[in-house]
């Protein structure tokens, strides 16, 4: 009789464990689908940016007489702005908030201290 009670108890615990595991698996599947969707979206955006960049370069080259070597020089110059040749453009510029006068990152959409709107230094600030 004791064996039967123990067996029922273990069976119940095992079913409970399986149910919890199925819920975890379902959550992981949803999370994986979300990540794949995000990767696809980023790949699409990357391809669009690459296409636009190549089109802009072609337009500039064809109408200005600039050469590939000129482009490479400018890429290197911008890469080295932060002191590191890492193939990235890093903009860690700061500016003074018009509202409270504190220094904030120029990438900020608004001042984190007072909420004031940030006046952009150039067209690419905040991107």
Return the structure tokens found at 32.
């994986």
In the chain, what's the furthest Cα-to-Cα distance? Answer: 94
Chain CA centroid to CA 55, Å: 24
Applying the rule CB under 5 A, the residues between 76 and 115 that interact with Zn ion are: 97, 99-100, 111, 113-114
Residues touching Zn ion: how many (CB under 5 A)? 7
C-alpha to C-alpha distance for 68 and 60, rounded to whole angstroms: 11
H or E stretch covering 22: helix 2-64
* Residue 126 sits in the site that holds Zn ion (CB under 5 A): no
Pattern 38-77, binding to Zn ion, x per CB under 5 A? ----------------------------------------
* Residue 116 sits in the site that holds Zn ion (CB under 5 A): yes
Residues that bind Zn ion (CB under 5 A): 97, 99-100, 111, 113-114, 116
């Amino acid at each position: 009789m004791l064996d039967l009670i123990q067996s029922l108890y273990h069976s119940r615990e095992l079913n409970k464990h399986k149910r919890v595991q199925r819920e975890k698996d379902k959550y992981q599947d949803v999370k994986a689908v979300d990540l794949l969707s995000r990767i696809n979206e980023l790949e699409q955006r990357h391809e669009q940016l690459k296409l636009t960049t190549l089109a802009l370069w072609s337009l500039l080259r064809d109408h200005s007489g600039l050469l590939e070597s000129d482009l490479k020089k400018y890429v290197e110059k911008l890469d080295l702005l932060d002191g590191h040749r890492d193939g990235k453009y890093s903009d860690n510029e700061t500016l003074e908030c018009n509202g409270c006068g504190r220094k904030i990152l120029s990438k900020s959409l608004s001042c984190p201290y007072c909420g004031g709107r940030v006046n952009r230094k150039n067209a690419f600030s905040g991107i």
